[in-house]
A and B are shown apart, each in its own frame.
Chain A
Amino acid sequence: MNALAAVLRRLVLAFGLVLAVLALNFLLIHAAPGDPAEVIAGEMGGADKEAMASIRKAYGLDRPLHEQFFTYIGRSLQGDLGQSYLFNRPVSELIFERLGPTVLLVMTALLGAISIGTLLGVLASRRPDSLFSGAVTVLSMIGYAMPVFWTGILLVILFGKVLPIMPIAGMRDVRMMGAGPLAHALDVLHHLVLPALTLGLVYLAQYSRLARASMLEVLSLDYIRTARAKGLGEVSVTLKHALRNALMPLVTIAGLQFGNVISGALLVETVFSWPGLGTLALDAILGRDYPTLLGVLTFSAILVIVANLLTDLSYRWIDPRLRGR
């Protein structure tokens, strides 16, 4: 009952938050100079006054700003995210189409980074003064410091040109149209390697450092000494007793990062021409495609809220002391 009330309260707050995000983003995007008619004219190599007026009328851009805003809010609440100016398709269709590739990319990178990062951090924490631990620390700092687009470009040069064994753009080999589902799946995996590695390296650096620090803190606590004194093996002490407590900060960070999935992926998607929500958002900003951008931002806001909720729920699962609350 307490848990349900907490969830409901959060949902109400979340709804208000989404509305506030929408309003702010609506104002910000309209504050940028230029409008979609100019973008469309630019892509067309020109348009006369009548054509631009006609475009503005077709998209309702000639109406007062507040009217546009309330119309948009009203439609969104009914599930209609509007029509993309740029792509001439329903925004919901665009988001749905691009969601899969982004989730695939980010989940692969995140899960890989969490598992490998945690493993490295745990191993490093066992012998904190060893060469291995030092190497993990230094490599983590380098991985974290390198901008993600720089890492991506380096990997493109390395595996695209020097050792050309990887595809460097897109999600699939377009010549494979008509091949079977297994071939397609392998092809997508092939294309996923470099972008997931690029994105994952940043996360990996974070998780290995965090896991190492968190484990070191937990391993110094009294109950660990008690566990060892009881005669428990080192593996049991590390995994069953220490890691479970050390996981909490990692879960928090993972939850926050999943909520930021779109912004995190945007640069990587651009470098690798990955057809996800990140590139959609970038195209929408540059193209002043208000409905698409607002749709992506709303979706992103909802993702953050859902991720936070799931993170809270996972705390209860990891830490039995929180289950009653």
Chain B
Amino acid sequence: MTQIPRRRMLQTAAALGASPLAGWPLQAWAQAAKGGVLVIGTNQRPRHLNSAVQSGIATMMPAAQLFASPLRMDAQWKPQPYLAERFELSHDNRSVKLVLRAGAVFHDGRPITAEDVKFSIETIRDHHPFRTMYGPVHTVSVEDARTAVIRVAEPHPALLLAMSTSLTPIIPKHIFGDGTDPKIHPRNSNPVGSGPFKLVEFKPGEVTVMERFDRFFLKDQPKLDRIIIKEYKDSASLLLAFERGEVDVHSLLTNAREMDRAKKVPGVQVVVGAGPAIGPLVWLAFNTKSPKLADKRVRQAISYALDRKMILEQLLENHHKAATGPIASGSPFYNPDVEKYAHNLTKANQLLDAAGLKPGANGTRLSLEVDAIPGSAEFKTLQEYTKAALAKVGIDVSVRLTPDFPTWARRVSTGQFDMTYDTVWNWGDPVIGVHRTWLSDNIKPGVIWSNTQGYVNAKVDELLTAAGKEMNQAKRKALYKDAQKIIVDDCPVAFIYETRNSEAFRANVSNPPKGIWGLIDGLNDVTAGKA
């Protein structure tokens, strides 16, 4: 046995003992040569990893790596083959045939078959929160081991988009088909997947670790060895971690200050407005069932009294983009030709006069309360701004703060509010994330992000319902064009801005995702050098 000199031992012990204080880099182990290890920092906390029964970015980001969807959307919003090597839409638009790639297997080695596709789509149809995605699906039949045919009761233009990314993860029937309610299935936190990466470790509130699945059905993908998603409790810690290189990716820069700091990181690549399909809108929603706001002239007046230019330039420091209507500008169905409600106090006062709201002795025409979805300092700023802005037209606004999300959600979904700042997401096709806010048959007390404004317009119902079944893109666009115009004119909400969420990648990351779903899509082509 080799004798280690005592002095050397002492020196080593001293070095080891001092290391926690000296900041000795403990990650001395080099990252693997091929693809590398990508560390993504997030403030989101996933409940579990099965996006067949859970939506939201927190789950969809890891789920898009663990599971493959039948299709992928390209940057032009066109569906492309993925797990399905071929897809055929029938002439009457009432069925889609999917032919799976030969040799595709789950992470446990079992083959991915059409039975799994059938099971997955039926599970999503019956359990996913967005019922409109697969609601029209009538049957899914299996023609052979690799061929599934999805039949819809009526043409469903959102169907192909719904089959992309983690909106439709193909989950194994042999794991999830045991009769347990899939929403509470114990394997949701430890799934066997079909995607480019397999799960190594999942500690909700801390970290999700995934590693490359070497038997993935696309031979040259994925490139990365590992993806690690690390959760940070607050945005300041996450930003600091990104600046220091503890994480390679900042998954969600939400304001100008964060953006400025991220841009100073040497070699950083910032994808501004990442994931345009997500389409997050911020608006001031009105309770149209309240006698105070039932008259659309009052709502329009409030909209005219808000100075959107000032909000976007001064309060939000030009970080976000103006929103003009219910469909985000990145969507092929966006219509900019609507009333913009440019700041006009004279017009606001005229509308309030016409609505019969004369100023009282103290100059007040009306008293209202403004809420805001909790979790963002920006919304609190907007509440305070609203108070000041509406005071100029004689509306006395009191700001109501909410301690947490469920309290706010309960208030808004049960009509216990006057007006509230809210953020609602388009989720790709308008059928999925847009219709729910404006259709009168979606006024559902107790359900947040249904038609909580209580808005009713029969023409809008007709237009949206027709657009939801129209397969011709041009005709669909025309229907949504008219619907947007009417909704904006009726003003059940005052549209303020589109959240331009941005993703930042440090210099060691190559091929950052730039598709319509951003980071919530498979990161098959991304590579990462040493941090």
Contact = CB atoms under 8 A, between A and B. Distances in A.
B58 interface: yes
B47 interface: yes
Interface in B432-487: 433, 436, 442, 444, 446-450
A270 B205 CA distance: 11
B20 A174 contact: no
Given A39-B405, A51-B131, A190-B26, A275 B206 contact: yes
B531 interface: yes
A36 B436 CA distance: 21
A58 B183 contact: yes
A33 B240 contact: no
A177 B226 contact: yes
A171 interface: yes
B186 to A, nearest CB: 7
Contacts of B433: 45-46
Contacts of A177: 200-201, 209, 226, 228
Contacts of B186: 88-89
B446 A168 contact: no
A237 interface: no
A304 to B, nearest CB: 24
Contacts of B232: 169-170, 273
Interface stretch (B48-56, B94-102, B295-303, B384-392): B48-56
B184 interface: yes
Given A86-B47, A87-B204, A279-B233, A42 B31 contact: no
Given A32-B407, A83-B184, A190-B26, A156 B45 contact: no
A43 B58 contact: yes
Contact of B47 (A43, A59, A161, A166): A43
Contact of A46 (B130, B206, B406, B407): B130
Interface in B115-161: 127-131
Given A46-B436, A186-B19, A176 B26 contact: yes
Interface string B397-413: 00000001111111101
Residue of A46, A51, A58, A160 with highest tally of chain B CB at under 10 A: A46
Contact of A283 (B45, B238, B446): B45
B47 A45 contact: no
Residue of A43, A54, A59 with highest tally of chain B CB at under 10 A: A43
Given A33-B406, A186-B26, A54 B241 contact: no
Residue of B201, B207, B209, B405 with highest tally of chain A CB at under 10 A: B405
A47 B447 contact: yes
Interface in A245-296: 270-273, 275, 279-280, 283, 285-288
B425 A45 contact: yes
Contacts of B377: none
B230 interface: yes
Given A52-B446, A58-B181, A286-B404, A174 B205 contact: no
Given A177-B226, A286-B404, A46 B244 contact: no
B436 A173 contact: no
A38 B405 CA distance: 8
Contact of A167 (B47, B201, B246, B447): B246
Contacts of A6: none
A155 to B, nearest CB: 12
B56 A43 contact: yes
Contact of B240 (A44, A49, A156, A186): A156
A44 B129 contact: yes
A51 B446 CA distance: 12
Contact of B23 (A36, A42, A166, A174): A166
A41 B241 contact: no
A306 B37 CA distance: 44
Contacts of B21: 165, 193
Nearest to B427: A45
Given A54-B127, A193-B21, A46 B404 contact: no
Contacts of A46: 55, 129-130, 424, 433, 436, 448-450
Nearest to A98: B205
Given A87-B47, A173-B26, A41 B447 contact: yes
Contact of A88 (B45, B47, B128, B413): B47
A156 B234 CA distance: 13
A89 B204 CA distance: 10
A156 B209 contact: no
A324 interface: no
B380 to A, nearest CB: 17
Residue of A175, A183, A273 with highest tally of chain B CB at under 10 A: A175
A270 B231 CA distance: 12
Residue of B48, B129, B246 with highest tally of chain A CB at under 10 A: B129
B39 interface: yes
Interface in B3-43: 16, 19-23, 26-27, 29, 31, 37, 39
Interface string B219-255: 0000000101011111011101101101000000000
Nearest to A159: B23
B188 interface: yes
A222 interface: no
Nearest to A101: B206
Contacts of B238: 169
Given A168-B241, A177-B228, A97 B410 contact: no
Interface string A40-80: 11111111111110110011000000000000000000000
A187 interface: yes
Contacts of B411: 33
A164 to B, nearest CB: 6
A178 B205 CA distance: 21
B26 A44 contact: no
Contacts of B55: 44-46
7 contacts: A34-B410, A48-B450, A50-B131, A88-B188, A161-B240, A174-B39, A175-B37
Given A38-B413, A46-B424, 10 more contacts: A33-B406, A34-B405, A42-B409, A45-B129, A48-B444, A166-B23, A169-B241, A175-B27, A175-B228, A275-B205
Interface of B: 16, 19-23, 26-27, 29, 31, 37, 39, 45, 47-48, 54-56, 58, 127-131, 181, 183-186, 188-189, 200-201, 203-207, 209, 226, 228, 230-234, 236-238, 240-241, 243-244, 246, 404-411, 413, 424-425, 427, 433, 436, 442, 444, 446-450, 531
